[in-house]
Chain A
Amino acid sequence: MGNDFTSALRPAFVMTILFALLLGIGYPLAMTGIGQTFFPVQANGSLVMEGGRAIGSTVVGQAFVADRYFQTRPSAAGKGYDGLASSGSNLGPTSQALVDRITPDVAKQRAAGNTAPLPADLVTASGSGLDPDLSPAAALAQVERVAKVRGMPAERLRALVTAHVESPVMGILGDAHVNVLALNRALDATGVTGATR
């Protein structure tokens, strides 16, 4: 085996270097070149620009906590929607901590006059803590509150939400969802800001 072992050393050593250069440097750099050339927007984070600065990404969620906006889901990423610390809550199904977190969120909805059973995504934390979307039901559940704050007719807001629903791909892939950043930008674009702003 002594001879065998030395016979393995040279190929192992040289192959390690060659493959590391090909797969660890060559491949990702070439892919970056292609990405930056052909898909410059996506390759750099799908940023939404306004007045020369980035106000968000079409792909990644951001925190919306103000009552005048449709609010994003609870987030366990850092202090909420931390782009440097993606995470779920990891609370188990029988966790008292989970109940303690959901209870006040439900109470807040009830206080806003929402008496129906709540859509699950409205009060649960996503896997990434950066979920950009809401289910249509979770967006519609917020219409009354936003309407009141902004002084807008609820009907108009419902139509706005419906217009922003993205259907499942080919009717099968994924669930219908609403991108919250897109919805809230459309909301701001209506020009109605409400007195409490």
Chain B
Amino acid sequence: MTIQGWILILGFVGILLALTKPVGSYLFALYEGRRTPLHLVLGPVERGFYRLSGIDPAKEQGWRRYTLHMLTFNALLMLLTYAVLRLQGVLPGNPQGLPGLSEHLAFNTAVSFTTNTNWQSYGGESTMSNLAQMFGLTIHNFLSAATGIALAFALFRGFARRSSATIGNFWADATRVTLYLLLPFCVVLTVFYTASGVPQTMAGTVDITTLEGVSQVLAIGPVASQEAIKMLGTNGGGFFNANSAHPFENPTALTNLIQMLSIFVIGFGLTWTFGKAVGNTRQGWAILSAMVILFLAGVTVTYWQEAAGNPIVHQLGVAGGNMEGKEVRFGMAASALFAVVTTAASCGAVNGMHDSFTALGGMIPLLNIQLGEVVIGGVGAGIYGFLLFAILAVFVAGLMVGRTPEYVGKKIEGREVKLAVLAIAILPLVILGFTALSAVLPSGLAGPLNKGPHGFTEILYAFTSGVGNNGSAFAGLTANTPYYDGLLGVAMWLGRFFVIVPMLAIAGSLASKTHTPESAGSFPTTGALWVGLLIGIILIVGGLTFLPSLALGPIADHLAMISGKTI
């Protein structure tokens, strides 16, 4: 580890903390449906969209209707992408002449992008036409992100409103977030990426004759426009197989910094928006404190392990940190930081190969996802996932000190706690269940590239990433098979919508309650004690469940690594 590396890491967090309030208050304007300066340009587009689709944005929806409209929209988008992927061979915008995708790969990919996972069983440059990248995939990068933020708004309203039967209008939330937040930010980011060397063209390839006289064909395409939303929307689905390690996706150390900031900026802002919505911004800062502490702990472990390097490689006469799977231009600190950022959020883009990280360096990304990606988390999904843990935490605190559980002015009762547990339990159930299944079935065991504990980690990581809607991988796993495509598709669907539906039910239930004023009997949810309790609950509930599986995978791998054993 170097001082320069730590300046980068702490500076990175510092920039985000400075952006939290400005971004949070802009998000609050969208949450409230207020006018922004961008309405001047995009207002007519918004109104046109409503008129053509017969939507009255002022008409509020109860949680059931909100859920139904969200699900119908997402299902149709998924069908559209499935159709585009299957038919890309006969559709225009295919200068590479690529054929349509197989049923299982098209299914897996359509689910993957709809659920904001962006797991990729394929290599982008050898599978997807330009049209498929734009029309099949980029739209989901926007709309799954907008859906996530809309859902967070709905839950905020549950906490903020009193005796209300409604939690907002899904169409108004999703449309405003897309038009006034995601799209304009992405236009700026795309121009920056293009200027920095990310291609933006409708061509498919360029031919090169190298200095040594060999022919090299480089895949190109509309990369920058996808890159912008891939990071800002915490999607993570790369244009190329190597994702943000590819020099065309992430050409410089500066683009790398902007990409990492993009992943986190909305998540940071939303904590402030939540505080503002419930009438006390300190509530938001308390949540953010817990997140940042967990985040920095993760960065420390990964950076330390990667910088220390692999003793097995050192024995061969090689010095320095672990450079297998990493790019020289980013360096050690930014590679470690990126891995922790992308898995703390539900992004899943990578600028180095997690499969080749040291055992413990690679365990942190895995653990981040297993904790539910609530350390900042995906856009929207992070904060609503975190609030589920907060509900659990006030319940536990209530049991411990004999107080009625309350959170930001709402009584937390049996119904909310049951629903929260339901949403939280889906993660370990599917991860451990599907991993166990794949560790005994021949079609599961056919997947891993590496042997022994590391191979097991590849399987564990895949299902963790799928259910967690992350999308990063221990990419040695051969996942484009009917077995993995199918099972991972199911896992991604469960991980997204079996969290969302109980969460929206909680929103509906909370919205209908009256306000409970804070009293001497309330457990304070702003101070250091509360932050500590939150961290404890997340580590115990989220982390302890997975400890046995981590012992079989990365921890066993680490013990082998430090004793110099190869497999």
Contact = CB atoms under 8 A, between A and B. Distances in A.
B60 interface: no
Interface size class of A (residues with CB under 8 A): 35 or more
A64 B226 contact: no
B222 A16 contact: no
Interface centre among A44, A45, A122 (most CB of B within 10 A): A45
B69 interface: yes
B159 interface: no
Interface string A1-28: 1001101111111111011101111011
A61 B253 CA distance: 16
B284 to A, nearest CB: 29
A90 B52 contact: no
Nearest to A61: B247
Interface stretch (B275-283, B313-321, B423-431, B519-527): B313-321
A112 B325 CA distance: 25
Contact of A60 (B195, B218, B222, B318): B218
Contacts of A4: 64-65, 68
B50 to A, nearest CB: 9
Given A27-B138, A106-B318, A120-B322, A92 B355 contact: yes
Given A63-B212, A168-B331, A35 B245 contact: no
Nearest to B130: A28
B53 A15 contact: yes
Contacts of A131: 247, 327-329
Nearest to A40: B201
Nearest to B198: A42
B540 interface: no
B353 A19 contact: no
Interface in B348-381: 350-353, 355-359
B331 A126 contact: no
Interface of A: 1, 4-5, 7-16, 18-20, 22-25, 27-28, 31-32, 34-36, 38-39, 42-47, 53-66, 69, 73, 77, 81-96, 98-99, 102-103, 106, 110, 117-135, 138, 168-169, 171-175, 177, 181, 184-185, 188
Interface of B: 4, 7-8, 11, 45, 49, 52-55, 64-65, 68-69, 72-73, 75-77, 80, 123, 125-126, 134-136, 138-139, 142-143, 171, 175, 178, 183, 186-187, 190-191, 194-203, 205-212, 214, 216-220, 222, 224-226, 240-242, 245-248, 251-254, 256-257, 309-310, 312-313, 316-332, 334, 350-353, 355-359, 449-454, 457, 474-476, 557, 560-561, 565-567
21 contacts: A1-B68, A8-B65, A12-B76, A13-B76, A15-B55, A28-B134, A31-B200, A54-B206, A54-B207, A55-B210, A64-B210, A65-B212, A88-B324, A88-B352, A93-B324, A94-B454, A126-B245, A126-B325, A131-B327, A174-B331, A175-B329
Interchain residue pairs A-B with the least CB separation, the first 9: A174-B253, A127-B245, A175-B331, A35-B200, A14-B53, A83-B218, A90-B476, A88-B353, A117-B319
